[in-house]
Amino acid sequence: MDDNQNLRLPDPALPVLLKGQKALVTGANSGIGKAVAIALGRSGADVIVNYVAGDDAAQDVVNTIIAGGSKAMAIKADVSDETQVQNMFKEMIQNFGTIDILVNNAGLQRDAPFAQMTLAQWNTVIGINLTGQFLCAREAVREFTRRGINRAVSVSAGKIICMSSVHEVIPWATHANYAASKGGIMLMMKSLAQEVAPIGIRVNSICPGAIRTPINSAAWSTPDAYASLLSHIPYKRIGEPEDIGRVAVLLASDLTDYMTGASVFVDGGMTLYPEFSTGG
Ligand code: NAD
């Protein structure tokens, strides 16, 4: 890493924008999901920390949120399993009463050259990254629709934030399953946003690029890999999970009430065709 990274990291206090709201973040015991869960908690929301493995890591996130003054609870569930997802929502509603914010974050990679990619690698990535987002969003929409708008909490009936990727638009050789899952999220998100807008539900995506988390550690953990990664990032620093947490707070809040169906790129300019930065 270079000094530039630390020099340029922001550290703003998070405003309390989400008081009284109940949030569920999937895959919240690591990386981006963890930072989003903590940021929502700091901004006043009570948070369900979903995870599939790693009880201690999930409890650490819960403890951090509680220490900040919000309620939190961990629920173990595999987002690609319909019954487990439905049971997770039941448990959330029993404990928190309802849901106002869903952050569909859980995701993984199973990379392989196309000709060597197994059906299991394909199905695992599509099952968790895309079908998992469908299953969670469907349960959230059912509860938002049942409850409707509660103006004391928010002017919308509910918010869904899908964690997509710059790879919803950038093709990615040897990652066809992952890019297909993120491209699928883009049109699932926009179709859902169009369908539920009339009943006051907002649906948007965050498209991160190059955030320092375990999923992409190979790309930043050696000096050579880090230098090569920076060549794709015009802003010349790698993203931190907190960069995504702050955007999630904004998208979940009424400050962005007129936004729905948007893919919000948080990528230091990765999608700005950096190879043309000197005029091409
Ligand atoms: P991560 O590996 O740290 O976090 C992924 C989380 O999802 C983990 O907590 C993992 O346990 C969880 N998870 C995996 N399978 C699950 C399942 N079946 N049920 C429930 N949870 C499950 O990686 P991350 O970088 O924080 O990734 C989070 C999201 O951000 C993913 O959707 C990823 O595609 C997306 N993303 C990350 C980057 C990046 O640069 N790190 C860039 C673009 C998009």
With contact defined as beta carbons under 8 Å apart, do 73 and 49 qualify?
yes
Q: Which of 246, 230, 250 is nearest to 238 (CA)?
A: 230
Residues with CB under 6 A from ligand 1: 26-27, 29-33, 50-53, 78-80, 105-108, 128, 163, 165, 208-211, 213-216
Which pLDDT value is given to residue 270?
A: 96
CATH class, range 3-276:
alpha beta
Q: What is the pTM of this model?
A: 0.97
Q: Could you please report the per-residue DSSP string of 226-276?
A: HHHHHTT-TT-S-B-HHHHHHHHHHHHSGGGTT--S-EEEESTTTTS-GGG
What is the C-alpha separation between 16 and 66, in angstroms, rounded? 15
Q: Which atom belonging to ligand 1 lies closest to the Cα atom of 129?
A: 32
Which residues are annotated as catalytic? 178
Compute mean pLDDT per 10 residues along the chain, 280 residues long, and list them: 72 92 98 98 98 98 98 99 99 98 98 98 99 99 98 98 98 98 99 98 98 88 91 94 98 98 98 89
What is the residue type of 129?
A: N
Query: Cα(71) to centroid of ligand 1, in Å?
Result: 23
Query: Cα(73) to centroid of ligand 1, in Å?
Result: 19
